[in-house]
A and B are shown apart, each in its own frame.
Chain A
């Protein structure tokens, strides 16, 4: 059997949604365990006294990347079957800058706001309501942006496809970088430890 499963078997709608729900519980459990239901824990990364956001995100990315590379080399996963969101450098740069502003002001990102709501954070509810309003405003008030993104898109672009260097090498490089960055982040947390809230 070749992965992804979706390429080799037809799932019923009910099965597909059940899978989404189960994967979601793992997703939400991890977010809350990491402390990402807390806006102060999340924004701490921008004041350098607690780098957990970067540690968790990069470890997750490197873990999944390594797994995908290994499964692919072992012939168990067809890389060509994985969905690649088309790159639009301008859209992702502008969108990222806007998103970052929303993150530091609002204290959450879309996924973590769900973990915040689930654990009773009223500001998480406010953020989620802001998200609902923002998505609706985008659709209603600025329908032209999607056309601009499409017109400026470069299409599917991954580092392996652009450089011709296989994914496994990037995974190795990222692991090495993560070890180095882990040491550096420990230094930062010590240097900016005085900003940590003390009640």
Chain B
């Protein structure tokens, strides 16, 4: 089943010199089990779960401090990233840096490295890039309001049956399913 998507990506590619065929993704039940073990290990070692959004906040605080250090020290929300020294020493940022490397290793091994824009055949690259930026902006807002994202709330909180996380998960799926029809030309 996953073959179809991988083949689609290859035939859509214009680089005919590439000989390495993207390999199919792993069985979702198997990857889910492995991801669950990573989450379990994270809990067993640190007492907390995974996360991603805090890394973006840490980078923001670091960048803001380069541009406007007085503003950062005056802002409680940004200054808190400097409590333990540099915001770049953030635990979640290191987790995300590791995720970047892990994903790249997996992509190289699976011959899935490709400089490309993911979109449906009816969308244009520019339209897709604009929507990706807008979607990232909106998702960041949602994650800040909900105090976590798919990693920090859904996975992490779900595993310990955190009521707020279960509500978050239901809300995410309800919203995305309700809106899917309106953005179908971006994907199908």
Contact = CB atoms under 8 A, between A and B. Distances in A.
Contact of B103 (A31, A59, A83): A31
Given A29-B105, A96-B146, A3 B44 contact: yes
A178 to B, nearest CB: 9
Q: Which range contains the number of B residues in contact with the other chain? A: 35 or more
Nearest to B38: A26
B32 A95 contact: no
Interface of A: 3-7, 13, 16-35, 37-41, 43-44, 46-47, 50-52, 55-65, 67-68, 71, 77, 79, 81-89, 91-124, 126-140, 143, 145-146, 149, 154, 157-160, 162, 167, 170, 182, 189, 195-199
A92 B171 contact: yes
Contacts of B139: 98-99, 101-103, 106, 108-110, 127, 130-131, 134
Contact of B56 (A59, A63, A131, A167): A131
A102 B140 contact: yes
A26 B102 contact: yes
B179 A197 contact: no
A7 B180 CA distance: 44
Interface string B146-160: 111111111111111
Give the one of A33, A118, A149 with max B CB within 10 A: A33
Contacts of A16: 46, 91
B103 A115 contact: yes
Interface string B104-140: 1111001011111111110001001111111111111
